[in-house]
Amino acid sequence: MARTALLNKQRESLQKYLRAKSEGRKSKFPTRVYNRCKLCGRRHGYMRFFSICRICFRELASNGEIPGVQKSSW
């Protein structure tokens, strides 16, 4: 519940930022917008290409739910 509230708040502030950016105004937001995992809301260990954290990535990859990703072996 709290993480979904954080994600919603982050999305709203990002939309406000993009609107202000397109109008040419400077950003007046006091805090930084962090990248968060779309599944669990975790901030650290975020993989930008997949938009999820390393833990969710590992679970999804081991279940075969991410296309094109397979376990490495050498």
Rounded Cα gap, residues 71 and 62, in angstroms: 7
At residue 24, the pLDDT reads: 65
Closest CA to 38 of 13, 15, 56, 59: 56
| Tens-digit pLDDT string for the chain (74 aa) | 678 888 888 888 888 877 776 776 556 666 677 888 888 888 899 999 998 999 999 999 999 898 888 888 88
Give the fold, CATH level 3, of 2-24+33-62. Answer: 30s Ribosomal Protein S14; Chain N (4.10.830)
pLDDT one-digit tens code per residue, 41-58: 888 999 999 989 999 999
